[in-house]
Structure 1
Amino acid sequence: MRTAVVVALLGLGAFAVAAGLVLQLHTYPLLAKLQHNINTTSVSEGEGVTAVVYPPGGVPEIRHGLRVTATTHVEGDLAAPEIKKNGDVTVWKRATIVKEESAKLVLSAEVRRICLDRRTAEAVAPCHGEFYETERGKRITAEGRQLLQPGLNFLFPFDTEQRDYRWYDTVLKKPVDIHFDGEQLLQGLDVYRFVHTVPPTALERLEVPGSLIGRPESSVDVTRYYRVTRTLLVEPTTGAVLSVREDIRQELRTATQGEGEGTAVFNGELRLTNASVTANADEVKKNLPKLFMITTLPVALWVLGAVLVAIGLVLLFLHRRGLVAGALALVAGVCLAGTITYGVTNASSPDSSLDLKNVVSSTNVDYGLR
């Protein structure tokens, strides 16, 4: 009877420890990755916004008190050469269009394509076909090992830490520091709040109609300035950005004008809609149990397995019986755990059902571009 107890304790303990090791060393690297076949749409809204609009056949004009929506579609580019099953790099494309709702006029639009490290969510290079485009026919592409859109672009890394990160600003065309600003609850989820503020920054010199900025001249040389305060709510286990709030101001200044004295061509706050936030939160809630299996469960298995093995070894050495059976139980437990856990992991891989043959790119790169 004692021998049977020892064998059971050692076998179960070895099984638990080995399963925990496989989950940590094999399952986590395989499953904790950005998906290739992402396909999501989110919407941000703003009320009382000031913006320059482009009436069909007319000249640009500034309107106030607008209701604005920004619709963003993100999808995986499965036709990209970097896409490989269980690979470490994925390729995502994002199309964003900002509209004034009353007349459905397009205020701005952009299309981007970027390669991402599937674990850190950082942009990586080289990236075949990386680009961004905000005006039709004026696409900016990467060359060689150039990192065109460095930093974080869509998500934070798995197991996000309470520290600063580099977030790519699509207006500045460069990454800026975004700071950890505390924790809060969002729809039942513990989230991290990250905030950054870009002070008024000169972007480019332009020649605009005098009427746009209230001047009598037919054209006026101005400089476009941009500032933003951006707040992101991030679920730390998955790195998913659940909520976005942006307070944006862009203004045109002549050479004699200082901060706040120019003409605002965009001034307002855009927030991710409640429906989009709920959709993001629901997706995270669906994925968190899977990540529990590869983050918290291994530790629990190690502790349980160590306790069982320790008790089994104590009994084994006290009674000096069942040495061979105990050794065989240890080996059997390790082998069984490795086989079962490894097999289940491979079958659960997010890439196992992907068909990467004969796929084509589908994003419309003329998505609202003027």
Structure 2
Amino acid sequence: MRRIVGFVLLGLGVFAVALGLLLRFYAYPQLAKAPLDTKSLSVAEGDNVTALVIETVDGAPVPEIRNNLSVKATTYVTGDLTRPEVEADGDVAVYVEAIKMIVESTDSTITASVRSQCFDRHTGQAVAPCEGQYIEAEQGNRETVSRNTLQQPGLSFKFPFGTEQQDYEFFDTQVRKAVKARYDGEDTVQGLDTYRYVIEVPNTKVGDREVPGSLVGEPDEPSVDAAMYYTAKRTLWVEPVTGVIVLGQQEMTQELVPSGEEPGDGTVVFNGKLRLNDATVTEFVTRAEDGKSQVRLLTTGPIVLWVAGGLLIVLALFLLYGGFRRGEPSSVGGAPPMSRQPAGAA
């Protein structure tokens, strides 16, 4: 009976260890991936915002800088399954992000943009080759590059699975490059443990614009060439197991600087802070918690199986072979030896 129990325990132990290996090294890489067919909507809001608003008067666009606005930025992110990089079991996803910022009281558009990017489903890092990647910050003016060029480097839509307490590179659509997302500590968002990252962009020239002279203090000039400068501070709260961004806010300033003026002395065309609203944060927290539970099963589950399987194997070996080391009778080798009699005994 002891040997039967030993063999049963040995089989269970080997099975537990094998199952742990299967979960960790096969199931985890297959399941810990960003979805291909994502559909996400998020809303950021801000008050006391200064912004340049384009209104149509008598059929012509009229720019006007307004203060103390309540604005709303809506972001739609969808997975593009038509791109050649996208395969059902592949490691690359293609997301399209469309952002529109409006004045809440009038629905007047402040900015609108759309972009497409390929990224690694495990790490969140942008990858190339990427067919059809683009950035369209102005309607009808789409910026494209060759498929082998990395147009939008760094992270964009999420952090990697197993996010660490370290700095990362995060793509900024205004300066068109990856900037440092500095690890800034731990925090709790709606009861969920997160890592906080801060992205700071110093005052940087991001382009040139031809604008009405009246907009930049030169009413006698019908149009003026001006440089656009941009500065921002962005804070992201990330659930580290899944890499899901559950909360974000951004403080941003944009300034038009005509020739002869210095940055800081120009015309501010945007200044304000936007933060994801509570409904969006609740949805993202729920999504992160669900994903965290699934990933935990694939990361901590194998450890439990390995420990339990190892203990079962040790116990099985003890039952099978431990008794012989204590001098228990062996079932091998025929009859037991006869007791010796002293010489001369009757």
Shared topology, TM-score over 0.5?
yes
Quick one: which of 139, 142, 146 aligns to 1:143?
A: 146
CA distance in 1, matches of 2:127, 2:305: 35
Pairs within 5 Å for 1:1-370:
1-56=1-56, 57-216=60-219, 217-319=221-323
**2:50–2:272 Cα contact (<8 Å) kept:** yes
Output the TM-score relative to the length of structure 2: 0.90
CA distance in 2, matches of 1:259, 1:212: 16
RMSD: 1.4
**2:216–2:258 Cα contact (<8 Å) kept:** no
CA distance in 1, matches of 2:217, 2:262: 16
CA distance in 2, matches of 1:277, 1:294: 26
CA distance in 2, matches of 1:110, 1:18: 50
Give the counterpart letter for 1:272 in structure 2: L
Gaps of 5+ in 1: 322-370
Give the counterpart letter for 1:19 in structure 2: L
Give the counterpart letter for 2:216 in structure 1: I
Deviation at 1:320, TM superposition (A): 5.4
Give the counterpart letter for 2:277 in structure 1: T
Q: Higher relative CO (CA 8 A, sep ≥ 6), structure 1 or 2?
A: 1
- Secondary structure of 1:172's counterpart equals coil
**1:179–1:196 Cα contact (<8 Å) kept:** yes
Deviation at 1:315, TM superposition (A): 2.0
Deviation at 1:8, TM superposition (A): 2.5
Give the counterpart letter for 2:312 in structure 1: L
Give the counterpart letter for 1:33 in structure 2: K
Output the TM-score relative to the length of structure 1: 0.84
Q: Give identity over the alignment, percent.
A: 47
Give the counterpart letter for 2:130 in structure 1: C
Instruction: Give the number of the structure whose residues are more often strand, by fraction.
Output: 2
Aligned to 2:343: none
CA distance in 1, matches of 2:287, 2:298: 18
Instruction: Give the number of the structure whose residues are more often helix, by fraction.
Output: 1
**2:86–2:94 Cα contact (<8 Å) kept:** yes
CA distance in 2, matches of 1:138, 1:122: 25
Give the counterpart letter for 1:29 in structure 2: P
Gaps of 5+ in 2: 326-346
**1:54–1:60 Cα contact (<8 Å) kept:** yes
CA distance in 2, matches of 1:108, 1:320: 81
- Secondary structure of 1:268's counterpart equals strand
CA distance in 1, matches of 2:299, 2:290: 16
Aligned to 2:341: none
Give the counterpart letter for 1:162 in structure 2: Q
**1:127–1:142 Cα contact (<8 Å) kept:** no
Give the counterpart letter for 1:5 in structure 2: V
CA distance in 2, matches of 1:58, 1:204: 21
CA distance in 2, matches of 1:169, 1:126: 20
